[in-house]
Chains A and B, each alone.
Chain A
């Protein structure tokens, strides 16, 4: 009898709680964020599968800057040249910023970085229609330490193939 009472009490409390918790609240169903392309059967024209300079998909930036650094230019150009060869290939460039400063300004800074990479891709032969850019600002960090090395890892653009 005691156990039954305890069970009823817990169940009632839980029911009350659910009623209270769900009042006015919303759970959002998110549609899928752009995902990094997995690699299926090798197609030798597929940009996502090429080696060498193309193996670098993450470009890092200096603090408060959005220009692609000189040692990264070859990698970005290689992606651009491949895009120009494979007209069906599509990329999304994700721009990011480190945690310092305000979130909305960092959203804009992330976009500047993504666009900067995009411009270099088109200069190397990709067409504008192959390139999509999105900024996550400081919202998707790869690390959360408040250190120079973590901040550098977060100041980045990611070249993500959404079609090959």
Chain B
């Protein structure tokens, strides 16, 4: 009797896994171009040290994939890792020098309390044999993947001095079906594409998702009422509220760095202008005052200025204006078309859609040096979104007839494609860091 029940449980779990992966079109990530200057790192093991059922999440594989995706590291291939030390005293340094690895990560997964785990790992500098980091992290059942991302963050930060973005999320819009069956969905997944969750689903277009700074809300534009309107939705509960449904355009919502205001585009006064709204009261304050199209506002990190797209000079370019209003200063001078700014967290880099003729690419401009660098290699690239640590830009592009996402590192060295198993994906937005 008991063994039949156990079999039943295992079968249910397997079927749920199978069904879950087919319920939502799953995002798959492919790294399409490697990088020359990446630091070689050997990630060994994470063997299960307990008895009984080993954990299903492959901690080592997640860490390897994370560090590879960042473009700053080149994990050694599994085939090259023949020795598998689990403790510092087991390490034969000559082996790792011979494999030309700069760094070595060893670890183990021990059983924890209440069916959970304790993930232990150590990071070593191969040349100096110095132990750079060692930690033991508790994980409840089902949390191993999250802990693996945290391990990646710790390794990344210890070596590079930059916070890792492996524990963050991405939001994106999916479009599936044809004609009357066409459906739009706003989806949130882990930064590596794992575990997609639908936040909202509609028969009418959805666009412009934007994260609140605490990562709890998404603002977005919906056409469910026949005209564009702006909603804000709490991700955990699904509770949503219309923030703006005025006549004309209600578009391009952007949360302020303190989360209390929303910058947005409204054309209620005759042409698209940028406003700020105090979210708690709904009070509007007008920022731009020009007959041209002014849209796609983005806040600078100090919350004092907005960088936005305007065609006041003829064609779309990026401008900056104080939030309290005033003179708009043009920022972009290269290229016939520059739009849809995304700022790095330190405000130094501006990612944008940059076009000449019919070719639309993602470029990044350094505000200090003024240098503009084209990063992407498509011809219909759009919707760039910076990772919260400024290392990569996620964007939307076309591949044949399909909409796919792609990511490129800020030095252009690493490229990734993120493809939905069915339908199109567009309008990505990278979440902020979760509070430490």
Task: Give the B-binding residues of A (Cβ under 8 A).
Answer: 5, 8-10, 12-14, 16-17, 20-21, 23-34, 64, 99-105, 107-109, 111-112, 133-136, 139-140, 144-146
Given the interface contacts A12-B12, A100-B380, does A24 sit within 8 Å of B197 by beta carbon? yes
18 A-B interface contacts by CB (under 8 A): A5-B8, A9-B12, A13-B19, A26-B199, A28-B204, A30-B223, A30-B226, A33-B226, A104-B208, A104-B295, A107-B249, A107-B295, A108-B267, A108-B295, A112-B293, A134-B227, A136-B205, A140-B205
Complex Cα distance A28/B220, Å? Answer: 13
Q: A30-B224, A31-B226, A136-B205 are in contact. Are A105 and B295 (CB under 8 A)?
A: yes
Chain B residues 345-375 with CB under 8 Å of chain A are: 353, 355, 358, 360
Hey, which bits of chain B sit against chain A, CB under 8 A?
A: 8, 11-12, 15-16, 19-20, 23-24, 197-205, 207-208, 222-228, 233, 235-238, 240, 248-249, 251-252, 265, 267, 271-272, 293, 295-296, 309, 311, 315-316, 337, 339-340, 353, 355, 358, 360, 380, 382-383, 398, 401, 427
**Which listed residue (A30, A101, A135) contacts B353, Cβ 8 A?**
A101
State how many angstroms separate the Cβ of B49 from the closest Cβ of chain A: 31
Is B222 a contact of A28 with CB atoms below 8 Å? Answer: yes
Is the contact region of chain B dominated by helix, strand, or loop, or is it mixed? mixed
| A57–B198 CA distance with the chains assembled, in angstroms | 38
User: Closest residue to B315 on the A side, CB-wise?
Assistant: A64
**Chain A residue with minimal CB distance to B173?**
A103
A134 near B398: Cβ-Cβ < 8 Å: no
Known: A25-B199, A33-B204. Contact between A102 and B383, CB under 8 A? yes
A21 touches B23 (CB 8 A): yes
CA distance A17 to B271 in the complex (A): 46
Measured CA separation A16–B19 after assembly (Å): 10
Give the top 9 A-B pairs by smallest Cβ distance, nearest first: A139-B205, A13-B15, A108-B293, A102-B340, A30-B224, A28-B202, A24-B238, A108-B272, A25-B198
If A20-B20, A111-B267 touch, whether A103 touches B201 (CB-CB below 8 Å) is no
State A10–B224 Cα separation when bound (angstroms): 34
Complex contacts, A5 vs chain B, CB 8 Å: 8
B272 engages A111 (CB within 8 Å): yes
Given A99-B380, A102-B382, check contact A26 B233 (CB 8 Å): yes
Q: Separation in Å of the A152 CB from the closest CB of chain B? A: 13
CA–CA, A111 and B272, complex, Å: 9
The reply to whether A104 and B265 contact each other, CB–CB distance below 8 Å, is yes
CA of A135 to CA of B205 in the docked complex: distance in angstroms? 12
A104 and B199 form a contact (CB under 8 A):
no
Measured between beta carbons, the chain B residues less than 8 angstroms from A99 are: 380
Given A12-B12, A16-B16, A111-B267, A30:B208 Cβ within 8 A: no
Nearest A residue to B400 via CB reads: A146
Q: A26 contacts B252, CB within 8 Å?
A: no
Complex interface: chain A residues within 8 A of B339 (CB): 101-102, 105
Q: A108 contacts B265, CB within 8 Å?
A: yes
Instruction: Let me know if B226 and A34 touch, CB within 8 A.
Output: yes
Are B228 and A107 interface neighbours, CB within 8 A? yes
